[in-house]
Structure 1
Amino acid sequence: MSADDNKSTKAERDAAEKAVLDNMARLKALRLAREASMPQAAPKKKVAAKSGRSATGKTSSGKSSASKPAEKSVALAAWLAEQRKGGFRT
Structure 2
Amino acid sequence: MKKNRLLQLLTLPVLAIGALVLSGCASTDLARVKPYEREAFAHYTMRADRDPLATMMNEHIFFSREAATGGRGVKGSGCGCN
Q: Shorter-chain TM-score: what band? A: 0.3 to 0.5
TM-score (norm 2): 0.37
Larger Rg: 1
